[in-house]
Structure 1
Amino acid sequence: MSAQRSFTFLVNPASGGGAAPEAVVPVARLLREAGATVDVTYSPGPRSMPGLVTAAVERGDVVVSVGGDGMLSSLAGEVSAAGGTLAVLPAGRGNDFARMLGLPGTPEDLAALLLSGSTCRVDLLCASFPGVPPREVAGSVYCGVDARAAELVDGAHRLPRRLQYPYAAVRALLTYAPARYLLSVDGEERELEAATVVVANSAYYGKGMRIAPPASVTDGLLDVVVIEAASKAALVRSLPKVYDGGHVDLPEVTVLRGRRVELRADPSRAAGPGVPVGGDGEPLGTLPPLAGDPLVVEVRPAAVSVVC
Structure 2
Amino acid sequence: MLYIFYNSLSKIGTKKKKIFNILNKAVKTFNHNELHLNDIINIKDPYKIIKELDQEKDVVLLVGGDGTLTNIANKICGLKNLPPIYAYKAGTGNDFLRSLKTIKETKIVNKHFYLINPYIEKLPIIKFNNNKMHFLNGIGLGIDAVISRDINEKKLTKNKVSFFKISVQNLKTFQPIKNIEIIIDDKFYKFNNVWFCSIMNGEYYGGGMKIAPNANRLGDTLKIIVINEISKFKLLYLFPLVYTGKHINVSNVKILEGKKITLKTSEKTSLQIDGESFNDIDLVNVEK
Per the normalisation by structure 2, the TM-score is 0.84
Aligned residues, how many? 271
What CA distance in whole angstroms lies between the structure 1 residues aligned with 2:18 and 2:223?
32
The unaligned stretches of length 5 or more in structure 1 are 1-5, 268-273, 289-293, 300-308
- In structure 2, the partner of 1:250 is 250
- In structure 2, the partner of 1:295 is 284
- In structure 2, the partner of 1:141 is 139
What CA distance in whole angstroms lies between the structure 2 residues aligned with 1:230 and 1:78?
39
- Mean Cα deviation higher: 208-217 or 230-239: 230-239
Would the aligned equivalents of 1:20 and 1:92 in 2 still touch at CA under 8 Å?
A: no
Would the aligned equivalents of 1:139 and 1:200 in 2 still touch at CA under 8 Å?
A: yes
What CA distance in whole angstroms lies between the structure 2 residues aligned with 1:165 and 1:237?
16
- In structure 2, the partner of 1:12 is 7
Q: Any residues of structure 2 matched to 1:60-139 within 5 Å, and which?
A: 60=54, 61-83=58-80, 84=82, 85-102=84-101, 109-110=111-112, 113=113, 120-122=118-120, 123-130=122-129, 132-139=130-137
The answer to whether residue 279 in structure 2 is matched with residue 278 in structure 1 is no
Displacement of 1:23: 4.1
Q: Any residues of structure 2 matched to 1:140-219 within 5 Å, and which?
A: 140-154=138-152, 155=154, 158-159=159-160, 164-179=162-177, 180-193=179-192, 194-219=194-219
Per the normalisation by structure 1, the TM-score is 0.79
CA-based RMSD = 2.6
The share of aligned pairs that are identical, in percent, is 23
- Alpha carbons of 1:208 and 1:22: their partners in 2 closer, same or farther (altered >3 Å)? farther
- In structure 1, the partner of 2:23 is 28
Would the aligned equivalents of 2:64 and 2:88 in 1 still touch at CA under 8 Å?
A: yes
Map Cα deviations across residues 24-57 of structure 1 (whole Å, 9 max, x no partner).
3222212324531322111226xx45x2232133
2:67 aligned partner, one-letter code? G
Displacement of 1:206: 0.7
2:37 aligned partner, one-letter code? V
Displacement of 1:121: 4.1
Would the aligned equivalents of 2:200 and 2:222 in 1 still touch at CA under 8 Å?
A: yes
Structure with greater contact order relative to length (CA < 8 Å, sep ≥ 6): 1
Displacement of 1:65: 2.5
Would the aligned equivalents of 1:211 and 1:243 in 2 still touch at CA under 8 Å?
A: yes
What CA distance in whole angstroms lies between the structure 2 residues aligned with 1:286 and 1:176?
15
Displacement of 1:174: 2.2
The answer to whether residue 60 in structure 2 is matched with residue 58 in structure 1 is no
- Alpha carbons of 1:206 and 1:20: their partners in 2 closer, same or farther (altered >3 Å)? farther
Q: Secondary structure at the match of 1:220?
A: coil
- Alpha carbons of 1:89 and 1:33: their partners in 2 closer, same or farther (altered >3 Å)? closer
- Mean Cα deviation higher: 205-214 or 78-87: 78-87
Q: Secondary structure at the match of 1:240?
A: helix
The unaligned stretches of length 5 or more in structure 2 are none
1:296 aligned partner, one-letter code? N
What CA distance in whole angstroms lies between the structure 2 residues aligned with 1:279 and 1:65?
20
- In structure 2, the partner of 1:240 is 240
Q: Secondary structure at the match of 1:199?
A: strand
- Alpha carbons of 1:20 and 1:276: their partners in 2 closer, same or farther (altered >3 Å)? farther
2:61 aligned partner, one-letter code? V
Q: Secondary structure at the match of 1:134?
A: strand
Map Cα deviations across residues 170-221 of structure 1 (whole Å, 9 max, x no partner).
2222221111211111111112121100000010011100000100111121
